[in-house]
Amino acid sequence: MIKSYKLRRGIANALIYIALAVMGLIWIFPLVWLVAHSFRVDPNGGVPAILSTTLFPKVSELGFDNYIGLFRDTMFMKWFSNTLIVATCSCIISTLSVLMVAYSFSRLRFKARKPFINVGMIMGMFPGFMTTIALYYILKMMGLTQTLLGLTLCYSGGAGLGYLVAKGFFDTIPRALDEAATIDGANRNQIFWKIILPMSKPIVVYTVLTSFISPWCDFILVKIIMGTEVEKYTISRGLWMWTDKEYKSNYYRYFLSGSVVVAIPITALFLYMQKYYVEGVTAGGVKG
């Protein structure tokens, strides 16, 4: 009986692992294909064809010419700097907004607190792209269309509505710390910056990552707000332009290598922040 149960359990586990392995291969295959073909160059010195006759390029076709040409392209470097500026500024503003709003709803008690929380939750249920047309006309009236400032305001203006996760984290921090700090003469501002935030590294890291990734990868807002101002494009919109018919024959190879380059800062940021995330989890507890 026991042997039969172990056999059935072993077969079930084996089938589950096989299914997970197949799903993992399906998920990672496009990434491997993208990276492999981003190194594909024409051995004869010309521009490689868009479609290859083989699934993966041959060893003789591999090289760094695509990446060298990509970083020599002044337009791509302009797009990269635009994206970095917008993502960094939006990340800073959004992180501060989310944490401050979450702390206020978690710790402060005022008459309009519950209505504001309910309104924020209801507004958060609507997808952001529904407001893109309204945002465009608002920015047009303010003279901020086709500007990086207008794009940054769009990404960070409503960031405070994402307070829910941070509020839940702040709710787990004992109020006794606030009371003890108040007795020692600290005000709300000092409690937030000097006591609560140092203990909240996990949620700070989570907020920083989500606030940075969103403008770094966004395409819809850039397409609508920037219009035909090519020099103000971010990477996502610029790479998409390179897939158009008039650019595809010469720039599709740069599209592949640029897609890999775009993923590097996000991956590096996550790997760098991950250790602080773990450190924040272990060091964020209250010592008795």
pLDDT on residue 276: 63
Whole domain around residue 144: which residue ranges? 73-283
pLDDT on residue 56: 80
Low-confidence ranges of the chain (pLDDT < 70): 1-3, 5, 43-47, 49-53, 275-288
pLDDT on residue 284: 40
Question: Model-level pTM greater than 0.85?
Answer: no
Same domain (yes/no): 50, 119? no
Same domain (yes/no): 14, 93? no
Same domain (yes/no): 107, 241? yes
CA quadruple 204, 208, 214, 217: dihedral sign = negative
Query: What gap in Å lies between CA 267 and CA 255, rounded to an integer?
Result: 19
Residue 288 within a domain: no
Same domain (yes/no): 86, 183? yes
Q: What is the CATH number of the domain that holds 250?
A: 1.10.3720.10
pLDDT on residue 281: 46
Same domain (yes/no): 28, 129? no
pLDDT on residue 206: 83
Same domain (yes/no): 209, 257? yes
Q: How many domains does the chain have?
A: 2
Query: What gap in Å lies between CA 125 and CA 69, rounded to an integer?
Result: 43
Instruction: Classify residue 62 by its DSSP letter.
Output: B
- Tokens for 69, please give them: 């040409």
Same domain (yes/no): 12, 132? no
* DSSP-assigned states of every residue in 123-158: HHTS-GGGGHHHHHHHHHHHT-TTSHHHHHHHHHHT
Nearest to 34 by CA among 234, 263, 266, 265: 263
Residue 279 within a domain: yes
